[in-house]
Chains A and B, each alone.
Chain A
Amino acid sequence: MEMLKAVSIKKEYGERFALDIEHLAISEGEILTCVGPNGSGKSTLIRILSLLEQPSAGRLFFRGREVQNLKGRRRLEVLRQMSVIFQDPIFFGRSVYDNVAVGLTFRRLSRAQKDQRVRQAIKEAGLEHLERADVSTLSGGEAQKVAFARAHALNTDLIFLDEPFANLDIEARRSYQAIVKNALKGRGKTAVFVTHDISEAAYLGDRVAVINEGSIVQAGAPSEVLFKPANAVVARFTGMENLLDGVVSSSSVGILTVRVDGGTIQAVGEEKAGTRLILGLRAEDIGLVPKDQLRLPSSFRNSYEAIVERVEPAGAVTRVFVKCPFSLVSYVTSRSAVEMGIVPGERIGVRFKATSVHVMGSGF
């Protein structure tokens, strides 16, 4: 059953279009993550879906009931079936306990009911040791946990989370992501997450919607969005660093030969000769080998001799920029980079499978 549905939602700020969503539905019990770069309209979308902001046009349905024009008591009634967690939590009281209780106070719950739910939420968020702590003394991560506990205590069926992990370091982020995911799934909640981090979106979401310039450019299962990006915008956003313009020069039994700038690449596809398209390649799918190895037989349909142009160590992995003669970026472990003696100006072998090449329609 659909919990929330947005149809032809538009939001304009003056002349500027901030949001233009043709159709978006969230099923009961589903976690939808909206991912996109900064300024893509994700936060505006959350404010509109959660009834905190009016759309300029369009219709919004909550459990089948049209809600965007509700006023007063009726709007409040719907509003109280949702809760929203923002990136920078705003606190109202002094202690962690008071802040977790605030939404229940708004709902005028009895002291006993409130106490029981506040304690439960504090426990699930792992904040028991901070129950009496002053919120002004909390770290960014602790503050965000309080913000989550505050919404979780309300036990609403629908929860919106706007970049709830933004202020956390990687370690804290991972543990908190797991806490939130378990808490939501454990209670069968429906949630809409907003993040600019594709890996976070893929981990948390049952479904991922990629938003760019106010519109949804692709929505689907995390693996679909990650491995079958619908276009170059999504591909780039999901971390596909190599995008090449090309024209199909020949096509036979599902294998395309595509002419790209200065060379050819073999890919899997059914496009006809002459079709313009974009080829996408993940840096981690491109193998670097000593150039002598290229002569040995292998299952790689694409192999080239290349020159290392630039080397960027990034912790455990190293990004290697090569020219073969088109430019590519590859990841190798930093240990391999040292062992293979990969340095700028060195000649090296580059190879990747035809199945690693993502074929997308042209039109950036």
Chain B
Amino acid sequence: MKVILDVFKEAFLLILRLDSEFLSVLSLSILVSGSASILAALFGVPFGVALAEGNFKGKRLLLTLTHAFMALPPVVAGLVVFLILMRSGPLGSLRLIFTPASMIIVQTILAFPIVAGLTHASVSSVDPRYEIQARGLGASRLQAVVVKVRQARMGVVAAVIAGFGRVLAEVGAVMIVGGNIKSQTRVLTTHLLLYARQGKYEMALADGIVLIMLSVLINAFLTKAQFQRARTQIAQRITSYPS
């Protein structure tokens, strides 16, 4: 028991010390997972809305694939991206392998289906009367879709939160495409794995605690935004419908 307590104590001291290596790992984690989440939201939300509201051929197939890819094992995604980006791979000339860019790409691929799938689910579950009422007051098809997405905004923000959660906790894919290179592609999860293997449990635990703190902080921020957005959007006059 004393050993565990000591590990905890050491871990907290390490966090408080905030040495430069630790800071670089932390900031890279935020940069990689944050960028991937933003990209996944930028592409995933419109894609999810299109799946919910669009009327096109192959929609059902795309939806099935989206749902299947929500459970895509990160190591598989990592391996595929590695094979494509490796020096001798089809996009090897871009020289992205073992860089933060490759890590952002693989995490975007992992978060995208989650954001799209959950956005589809929340937009689909909006009461269809919103659309009929909006159309009955002269909304264009696009304006009516915007009305529905606004109704689904809590679910859409939840979709982005879920996407972020997935990539922040992910280790296999970034390990493969990033290579866990010190000061270059080492993030909190790969850092933790490395120290755990080396038996430096206080260092590993410090990473773990920071990961959890980061996740709590960012989710608290997004959740707050989710509720605030809901409030202010209702409070605002609706003035920004597309024509």
Q: Which residues of A are at the interface with B, using a C-beta cutoff of 8 A? A: 47, 50, 52, 72, 76, 79-80, 82-86, 88-90, 92-94, 97-98, 101-103, 105-108, 150-151, 154, 156, 160
The main secondary structure of chain A at its interface with chain B is mixed
B136 x A52 contact (CB < 8 A): yes
B234 x A94 contact (CB < 8 A): yes
User: Closest CB of chain A to B214's CB: distance in Å?
Assistant: 35
Task: Give Cα A334–Cα B139 distance, bound, in whole angstroms.
Answer: 53
Give the contact-size bracket for chain B: 20 to 34
Contact of B137 with A by CB under 8 A: yes
- Identify A105's interface contact among B130, B141, B235, B238, CB under 8 A: B238
B235 x A52 contact (CB < 8 A): no
A84 x B243 contact (CB < 8 A): no
- Identify B237's interface contact among A93, A107, A160, CB under 8 A: A93
Name the B residues within 8 Å of A97 (CB-CB). 237
B118-149 near A? 1/0 per residue, CB < 8 Å: 00000000010110111111111101000100
Name the B residues within 8 Å of A156 (CB-CB). 138
- The 13 sampled A-B contact pairs (Cβ below 8 Å) are A52-B132, A76-B138, A83-B138, A88-B129, A90-B133, A92-B134, A94-B235, A102-B137, A105-B241, A106-B138, A108-B243, A154-B138, A160-B136
Cβ-closest chain B residue relative to A86: B133
Task: Give Cα A79–Cα B138 distance, bound, in whole angstroms.
Answer: 6
Contact of B198 with A by CB under 8 A: no
Task: Give Cα A176–Cα B129 distance, bound, in whole angstroms.
Answer: 24
Cβ-closest chain A residue relative to B138: A80
B129 x A106 contact (CB < 8 A): no
Contact of B239 with A by CB under 8 A: yes
A106 x B136 contact (CB < 8 A): no
Name the A residues within 8 Å of B127 (CB-CB). 90
- Identify A92's interface contact among B132, B135, B147, B235, CB under 8 A: B147
Within 8 A of A (CB), among B2-30: none
A106 x B137 contact (CB < 8 A): yes
Given contacts A80-B138, A84-B137, A86-B136, contact A105 B129 (CB under 8 A): no
B136 x A50 contact (CB < 8 A): yes
Task: Give Cα A52–Cα B144 distance, bound, in whole angstroms.
Answer: 12
Q: Which residues of B are at the interface with A, using a C-beta cutoff of 8 A? A: 127, 129-130, 132-141, 143, 147, 150, 234-239, 241, 243
Name the A residues within 8 Å of B132 (CB-CB). 47, 52, 86
Task: Give Cα A160–Cα B137 distance, bound, in whole angstroms.
Answer: 11
Cβ-closest chain A residue relative to B139: A106
Cβ-closest chain B residue relative to A99: B238
Contacts A94-B235, A98-B237, A103-B137 known; 15 new A-B pairs at CB < 8 A: A79-B138, A83-B136, A85-B136, A88-B129, A89-B133, A92-B238, A93-B236, A93-B238, A105-B237, A105-B239, A106-B134, A108-B243, A154-B138, A156-B138, A160-B136
User: Closest CB of chain A to B165's CB: distance in Å?
Assistant: 31
A101 x B237 contact (CB < 8 A): yes
Name the B residues within 8 Å of A83 (CB-CB). 136-138
- In order of increasing CB-CB distance, the 8 nearest A-B pairs are A84-B136, A103-B137, A90-B133, A80-B138, A94-B234, A106-B139, A106-B138, A98-B237
Name the B residues within 8 Å of A154 (CB-CB). 137-138
User: Closest CB of chain B to A269's CB: distance in Å?
Assistant: 46
Task: Give Cα A160–Cα B127 distance, bound, in whole angstroms.
Answer: 21
Name the B residues within 8 Å of A103 (CB-CB). 137-139
User: Closest CB of chain A to B173's CB: distance in Å?
Assistant: 41
Name the A residues within 8 Å of B135 (CB-CB). 52, 79
- Identify B143's interface contact among A50, A86, A88, A106, CB under 8 A: A106
Name the A residues within 8 Å of B140 (CB-CB). 76, 106
A102 x B129 contact (CB < 8 A): no
Task: Give Cα A76–Cα B51 distance, bound, in whole angstroms.
Answer: 23
Task: Give Cα A52–Cα B136 distance, bound, in whole angstroms.
Answer: 7
Name the B residues within 8 Å of A79 (CB-CB). 135, 138
Task: Give Cα A83–Cα B133 distance, bound, in whole angstroms.
Answer: 9
User: Closest CB of chain A to B219's CB: distance in Å?
Assistant: 27
User: Closest CB of chain B to A48's CB: distance in Å?
Assistant: 12
Name the B residues within 8 Å of A108 (CB-CB). 243
Task: Give Cα A72–Cα B55 distance, bound, in whole angstroms.
Answer: 14
Task: Give Cα A212–Cα B239 distance, bound, in whole angstroms.
Answer: 43
A107 x B136 contact (CB < 8 A): no
B241 x A90 contact (CB < 8 A): no
Task: Give Cα A79–Cα B137 distance, bound, in whole angstroms.
Answer: 8
User: Closest CB of chain A to B146's CB: distance in Å?
Assistant: 10
Cβ-closest chain B residue relative to A111: B239
Task: Give Cα A106–Cα B183 distance, bound, in whole angstroms.
Answer: 52
User: Closest CB of chain A to B105's CB: distance in Å?
Assistant: 37
Instruction: Determine which residue in A72, A88, A94, A101 has the highest number of CB atoms from chain B within 10 A of its CB, and name it.
Output: A94
